Amino acid sequence: MAVGEWTALKCPSCGQSNMAHIDPARRAQCGRCGASLGPATPLHEDLQGSVGVEAVAASDGDGPPVPPPVAIRPPGYPPPRVIPERPSRPYRPIAGVARTLMIMIAIGIGLDAVAVVSDIAYIGLLERIRDGAFVSSGEAEAGDIRVGFIGLAQFLLYLATAIVFIVWFYRAYSNLYPLGATLRHKPGWAIGGWFVPILSFIRPKQMANDIWRASDPDLQREVGLGYEGERVSPIIDLWWAAFIITNIVVRSGSEIAASTAEEADELVTGAKGVMYGDIASVVVGVLALLTVRALTARQDARALKYLIARPPD
């Protein structure tokens, strides 16, 4: 096969078929994952051959040096996908911060369960007031103080857990660089993606999906974008769906109902809404705990295979 010809090559990284130039000094780039296409096995012999190549005649030795052949891209074939080179980033283990995060989530689950019990007692107190039963001022005040204290503790713990979660999330996504992946989003979105309206419903889930896919220990070392299309664990889907429903629908609705209630019936309805929100928070907490554990274990397994347990040279 002459230099300057085109042939159909199969990318060794992702299996994508590509039209590649034969000149060894002008290696093609995979259109899907961006990997360099070196010598490879042609897909079909009948796809080989000259496809619109202009070559400069060889010099007889007396003239100037002959420039290399100029290849014309076959009609209808898209240019290679240009993917920037991955920056050099050190791998930072996430097991330690994940352990702290899971402890905080577990404490949050327990606090939410306590809140549910407190909510049930508080609803009973409000129903007695609504029905005209005798309730002392001390009992009523104690119920208000208890509910308020537990709510404040939930808020402070939720805030602290959110900070640790974002630290873990950012580190897990940034680790995909040294683990051989090309990222679809800048690592900063692992932080900012939670605070941008509308986008916060989409971007964190996309990045969680990428962490799961690109941390697969069964993928090759330099995976590039070859992880796209891999199946995501249903735990992650369930966690995100429960998180959105709880924080946007249940929590917001119950808090509004509780804050605007004036009549006894409205107070009871608002208190029940808060209780449903606390029950939903227990479910979200359990799913979040499973998600953090699964993503951390998966990334640790890939790091153990390619970074930590790398054989000596």
Query: Which residues span the domain enclosing 32?
Result: 1-83
Q: Would you say residue 89 lies in a domain?
A: no
pLDDT digit string (tens) for the chain, length 313 residues: 444 445 556 666 666 665 554 444 545 666 566 666 654 444 443 333 333 333 333 444 555 555 554 445 555 655 555 444 455 568 899 999 999 999 999 999 999 999 999 999 999 999 998 898 898 989 999 999 999 999 999 999 999 999 999 999 999 999 998 988 888 899 999 999 999 999 999 999 999 999 999 999 888 888 888 788 788 999 999 999 999 998 876 666 666 665 666 677 888 888 888 899 899 999 999 999 999 999 999 999 999 988 764 444 4
DSSP letters, the chain, are --TT-EEEEE-TTT--EEEEE--TTS-EE-TTT--EE-S--BS-GGG-B--SEE-PPPP-SSSSPPPPPEEPPPTTPPPPPP-PPPP-------HHHHHHHHHHHHHHHHHHHHHHHHHHHHHHHHHHHHTT----HHHHHHHHHHHHHHHHHHHHHHHHHHHHHHHHHHHHHHTTTTTTBPPSS-TTHHHHTTTSTTGGGTHHHHHHHHHHHHT-TTS-SS-BTTTTTPPPPHHHHHHHHHHHIIIIIIHHHHHHHHHH--SHHHHHHHHHHHHHHHHHHHHHHHHHHHHHHHHHHHHHHHHIIIIITPPP-
Does 75 share its domain with 111? Answer: no
Does 79 share its domain with 113? Answer: no
Does 69 share its domain with 114? Answer: no
Let me know: does 223 contact 242? Beta carbons within 8 Å.
no
Among 62, 83, 104, the domain-final residue is: 83
Among 26, 49, 83, the domain-final residue is: 83
Does 188 share its domain with 66? Answer: no
Does 37 share its domain with 68? Answer: yes
Q: Would you say residue 90 lies in a domain?
A: no
Going by C-alpha positions, the residue among 69, 287, 252, 83 that lies closest to residue 183 is 83
Q: Would you say residue 146 lies in a domain?
A: yes
Does 268 share its domain with 139? Answer: yes
Q: How far is CA 48 from the centre of its chain?
A: 41
Does 38 share its domain with 103? Answer: no
95 φ/ψ angles, rounded to the nearest 5 degrees: -65, -40
Q: Would you say residue 278 lies in a domain?
A: yes
Look at residue 83 in the predicted model and tell me its pLDDT.
Answer: 46
Does 62 share its domain with 129? Answer: no
Look at residue 37 in the predicted model and tell me its pLDDT.
Answer: 61
Q: Which long-range contacts (CB under 8 A, 24 or more apart) does 193-196 make?
A: 194/166
Question: For helices 95-130 and 264-303, what crossing angle results, to 10°?
Answer: 170
Does 203 share its domain with 79? Answer: no
Does 119 share its domain with 195? Answer: yes
Among 27, 55, 83, the domain-final residue is: 83
Does 112 share its domain with 133? Answer: yes
Alpha-carbon distances of 137 from 8, 94, 142, 164, 268, rounded to whole Å = 84, 51, 8, 41, 18
Does 63 share its domain with 172? Answer: no
Alpha-carbon distances of 126 from 66, 131, 277, 300, 301, rounded to whole Å = 93, 9, 18, 50, 52
- The count of domains in the chain is 2
